[in-house]
Structure 1
Amino acid sequence: MTLSMVTFDTTDADSLATWWAEQTGGEVVERNDGWFVMVAGGSLPVLLAFQKIEDPTPGKNRIHLDLTAEDLDAEVDRLLGAGATLVARRGDESFRWVTLADPQGNQFCVAAADHV
């Protein structure tokens, strides 16, 4: 098997797909009337998909993205400025990562690229 897509459930597929496209340098490549929106390109090794649902599953998401950045602190600052929220700064001097949440509360982690 090969991983080809990661899908998020969301109440607003268009806006969340647009947010992720802006953050990864990708682009929205398919909209399907706003019910199933796909993002590709940029720094993404796979497609991201956003599926509109009426009632999101409560609680923390069970699958999350682990991303890397050349300058962890600058990237976290940029994401926070773009509407992400800080969940926690983690690790120590040997390995640091930051857990954030996108505008709809989906958590994801960003680590320093030189520690992965």
Structure 2
Amino acid sequence: MSLDISAVTFNSAQPHRLAHFWAQALGAQVVDGGNGYLHVRAAGMLIIVQSAPEHTSGTPTDVHLDLRADDRVLEAQRLVGLGATLLTERSDSHGTWSVLTDPDEREFCIG
């Protein structure tokens, strides 16, 4: 059983504006992460800003954790047993991940 925080991800209707804000605030650079993701790496932490055109600030999916696991499927099953809900599985050229919600219906991902 191994689960680590990979990144904190922000959904934004204006991802370039938000990524540049956090980069300037943290003294970092914005890097194109591919597939529409913008990366800001500061103090050993990765912030990902992704486009969400329908996004409304302050919604339950405003910010979420991206988690990394040795065995994504096993960890998703374990967390469902703890009270999470598995919503879907997604894939892109970076890999496959599971989208879940915690008991308060906040989304998070396991890759």
Scaled by the length of structure 2, the TM-score of the pair is 0.45
- If asked which structure has higher relative contact order (CA below 8 Å, sep 6+), I would say 2
Scaled by the length of structure 1, the TM-score of the pair is 0.43
Name the structure with the higher strand share: 2
Name the structure with the higher helix share: 1
